[in-house]
Chains A and B, each alone.
Chain A
Amino acid sequence: MADLTLNVNGTELRVRAADDAPLLWVLRNKLGLTGTKYGCGEGQCGACTVLVNGQATRSCLTPAPATVGAKITTIEGLEKAGVLSAVQKAFLEADAMQCGYCTSGMILAATALLREHAHPSDEQIVEAMEGNICRCGTYPRIVAAIRRAAEMQMASEGRKEEPEYVHG
């Protein structure tokens, strides 16, 4: 048992956990962040995906103490001041879910992907998402949502640059 300070969604949280306790259970059961899901506990389904310093990480295989000092982002941390992230918005608009149980993990995996490749190719999408299972079979819509999110992000970044352009 150890007292840990975890930085989750921008907030420092203190929690007591075993040295080898998976981050998944600490998030869900000690911090009440149940948006992160259990699907297999074996790194095979991606339902438990969170971001650790921006990297898509299987929280079921990551001991919580190993994440001390890192920035952890869960599905609950993507919405900022009531505004959904581009990926969340795209999933919602594309109705890229059925039961929705895989959705948190999908959104976080896609968020990490778009951080690395703003305009991912089909192969890059498949490569990055292959570890995430949607047993309801919503893959085509999820791919469409990721493409849409990429466009939305590019568009909003484009807008930010506009003023400079005008001045120039």
Chain B
Amino acid sequence: MSMDELMDEAALHEIRDRIRAFELDRRDFLRLCGGGLLVCLSGAQAPGQESGRGGQGWGGHELPREVSAWIHIDADGKVTVFTGKVEIGQNIRTSLAQSVAEELRVGFDAITMTMGDTELTPWDMGTFGSRSTPTMGPQLRNMAATAREMLVEAAAQRWSVDAATLVAEDGMVRNPKTGATLGYGAITRGEQLTRTLMGDPPPQHANFGRVRDPADPPLTPAIAWKIAGTAVPKAQGRDFVTGKHKYPSDIARPGMLFGKMLRATGFNATLVAADTAGAEKMPGVQVVRDGDFIGVVADDVWAAEKALAAIHAQWNVPEQISNRELFAAMRKGAAGGEASADVEQGLSGADVKLAQEYTVAYIAHAPLEPRTAVAEWGQTDAGQAKLTVWTGTQRPFGVKDDLVRAFRLSEDQVRVMMPDMGSGYGGKHTGECAVEAARLAKAAGKPVKLIWTREEEFTWAYFRPAGVMEIRGGAKRDGTLTAWEHHNYNSGPSALETPYNVTAKLEKFHEWPSPLLVQGSYRGLAATANHFARESAMDELAHELGMDPLEFRMKNLNNDRLRAVFTAAAEKFGWGREKSTADRGFGIAGGTEKGGYAAACAEVEIDAAKKVRIRRVVQAWESGAIVNPDGLRNQIMGAMVQAIGGALFEQIEFANGRVLNAHFAEYRVPRFRDTPEIEVVLIDRKDLPSAGAGETGIVALAPAVGNAIFAATGTRLRAMPMAAGEIFSS
């Protein structure tokens, strides 16, 4: 069943079959690999601020763990990078390999990335929070540079020359004087070279970067990059246009059955009764029942679906409040009440004042590939039960923990593999689908595949938190801000801090201890909500003052990087060249979070029926030195398109514990027709470290569009989505 194997694993066959656990001693690892050169990085991670379900934490993992990445070079000069990060469409399989190839002085194709396999790759907390590029990137560069130095030293010893006289290039060490060369493979042949880099994360803040040791090898400056910094095409791109790439839902195992789960008819429901007799009678169908857990397995997914439909269950669903009462409940449930004398004083000295409330709705990630898992029970070499699960997740090690707990297994009895999946956007941090598949497989005694339906994905996953933002602000007639107060209820603290100059300020996140829906991470998370509120409020103040919104921002802004993206976006867009009219409006907004800087200018069109359409958006982006301009452009553009949904029409509607729009026919996501003309202006700061770009590209669009709608119509929309209501329905 070669089709069932993961593409990126194929090349590693020999290693995979012989390796038992990632905790292997490094020397064992080398022995199993048949020697070569191995560089490990020790102790380099700290927890991020976002996880899956709110406050779940990190499964008791003591941080830092021993090893965070390995780079191995074998006797043929083949380079394998082992990282627990995963590829979910953000293109790190390509961009991380570029960084390694750059420092190691090998071609891009010499690199194989082994990612997100709990048995082959070192522990990793997960792929989220835009951390792969700023942390894993430099870590891997550092390791690759170390490997390069080790190879040069080994060659120097062999030739009895000074290492400083040698150069590494094209996978070889060369002696420029004699013209002699030694390939990396030849250098490592029969050798067991290992080195472990130590790195202490900075103590208290959640900066995840390893502190560079003065003894570390020099990294290649971005200005001299030849492979990093270029538009290397997506790794294995051809497999995506030929249908060969195996996503988690494409994994098949010998004898595999297909599962379906019975779902409650509402949140917080209890099962009253279930009649499974009809399903049990169907040929080839097995009903799996354990308390409220009811599922079916069959050798055909269609048969499983029919069997599920034949189960008659009665649920008791408690009365629950609907999305219409959401914000009132939130305000009641979240502790508020905090004041600052400074702010009050700043406000009293202001010529123009604002006090407004903004809201964002619950929205769904709706990745096109829903949650999926294939679970298979077998035996370890020691004869114990062994559970192997292929699943789409941003936290393979977190899912492994879930499985270890659910089945009371030991660490070495569970392996989770994560084939590059049909994306996540922060929505696939949890392991419920994997646990369900494993329970079904255990009962069936055969491997089971479970693919959540679209309705399940819309209902039983978790949501981006809804939120209320209260803002009060004041400014002098000349545009100088005098006070700023920003409260966020429930949606989160990220990007709560204003980048504008104002000393009298209060910025506070108010937690809601018992949110209505299960909420979790999301691309950009609260940065979207907080930027929407702040950048709308800034616009309101500018209009009150009769100032140009860009000029007002610039007057209160010292941050050079943010100024630069505002300027770049405005220039490319032609900001101020035309005045807004009743049917055409222009808006601007920007901000920064997680090391990324974004500013967007939007043009909207309002027709006679008051339908809104985004015509054109220009967004300028800066996140330090660019590793892959093409991949970066793709990410930023994608974030902008995704932002259209949350800005204009996406929201989960619910009542009495039921999601009312759990289908693409009712939950509207951006489509071709919604997509405006989009331009992305990239600013490449080769003098600055590279930051992640998966998230912050999403924050500027909604306020820019809202501000453009106001400019045209004089109506201020303070609730996201802005066009789901009657007036601006699109």
* A associates with B: yes
Q: Which of B600-637 contact A (CB under 8 A)?
A: 630-631, 634-635, 637
Does A39 belong to the interface (CB within 8 Å)? yes
Given A98-B638, A103-B240, A137-B641: A42 in contact with B664 (beta carbons within 8 A): yes
The residue from B238, B423, B630, B663 contacting A42, defined by CB atoms under 8 A apart: B663
Measured in the bound complex, the distance between the Cα atoms of B258 and A21 in whole Å is: 14
Contact call B368/A130, Cβ cutoff below 8 A: no
Other-chain contact of B242, A21, A37, A79 (Cβ < 8 Å): A79
Does B713 touch A at the CB level, under 8 Å?
A: no
Task: Name the A residues within 8 Å of B60 (CB-CB).
Answer: none
- Checking B249, B252, B423, B453 against A98 with a beta-carbon cut-off of 8 angstroms, the contacting residue is B423
Could you tell me which residues of chain B, from 212 to 268, have a CB within 8 Å of some CB in chain A?
Answer: 233-234, 237-238, 240-247, 249-250, 252, 258
B577 near A: Cβ within 8 Å?
no
B interface residues, how many (CB within 8 angstroms): 58
Query: How many Å lie between the Cα of A130 and that of B675 in the bound state?
Result: 11
Please encode chain A, from 16 to 58, with 1 for each CB lying within 8 Å of some chain B CB and 0 for all others: 0110111001001100111111111110110100000000000
- The answer to whether B258 and A41 have CB atoms under 8 Å apart is no
Nearest B residue to A134, CB-CB: B368
Q: Which residues of A contact B663 (CB under 8 A)?
A: 40, 42, 44
Q: Are B665 and A44 in contact (CB under 8 A)?
A: yes
Q: Scoring B residues 519 to 534 as 1 if CB is less than 8 Å from chain A, else 0, what string do you get?
A: 0000000000000000
Q: From A34, which residue of chain B is reached at the shortest CB distance?
A: B250
Q: Which residues of B contact A28 (CB under 8 A)?
A: 250
Pick from B242, B244, B634, B669: contact of A133, CB under 8 Å? B669
- In the bound assembly, the distance between CA atoms of A34 and B374 in angstroms comes to 15
Binding site of A, secondary structure by majority: helix, strand, loop or mixed? loop
0/1 per residue, B461-490, Cβ < 8 Å to A? 000000000000000000000000000000
Chain A residues bordering chain B, tally (CB within 8 A) = 58
Most chain A CB within 10 A, of B637, B665, B672, is at B672
The dominant DSSP class at the B interface is loop
- Indicate if A61 sits at the interface (CB-CB under 8 A): no
Asked if A137 and B454 sit within 8 Å, CB to CB, the answer is: no
Given A25-B301, A37-B369, A137-B640, the answer on whether A32 and B252 have CB atoms closer than 8 Å is yes
Who on chain A is nearest to B630 by CB? A95
Contact assessment for B245 and A100 in the assembled complex, using a CB-CB cutoff below 8 Å: yes
CA distance A33 to B670 in the complex (A): 29
Q: A98 and B90 in contact (CB under 8 A), knowing A130-B673, A137-B642?
A: yes
Which residues of A, 90-115, contact B by the 8 Å Cβ criterion?
Answer: 91-92, 95, 97-104, 107
A residues in contact with B91, CB < 8 Å: 98
Residue numbers in B under 8 Å from A150 (CB-CB): none
- Of A91, A98, A133, chain B has the most CB atoms within 10 Å of the CB of A98
Within 8 A of B (CB), among A115-157: 125-126, 129-130, 132-143
Determine if B678 is an interface residue (Cβ-Cβ < 8 Å): yes
Query: Contacts A40-B664, A41-B453, A140-B675 given: A101-B642 contact, CB under 8 Å?
Result: no
Known: A98-B90, A99-B88, A143-B675. 17 other contacts (CB 8 A): A18-B302, A29-B252, A34-B247, A34-B250, A35-B243, A40-B454, A42-B663, A74-B243, A92-B241, A97-B234, A98-B634, A100-B422, A103-B241, A136-B638, A139-B670, A140-B637, A140-B641
Instruction: List 15 A-B pairs, Cβ < 8 Å.
Output: A17-B302, A18-B300, A29-B300, A32-B3, A33-B243, A37-B422, A42-B663, A74-B243, A84-B241, A95-B233, A95-B234, A98-B634, A101-B368, A136-B642, A138-B637
Q: Residues on B close to A: CB < 8 A? A: 3, 88-91, 233-234, 237-238, 240-247, 249-250, 252, 258, 300-303, 366-370, 420-423, 425, 451, 453-454, 630-631, 634-635, 637-642, 663-665, 669-673, 675, 678
* 4 tightest Cβ-Cβ pairs between the two chains A and B: A35-B243, A137-B641, A99-B89, A101-B422
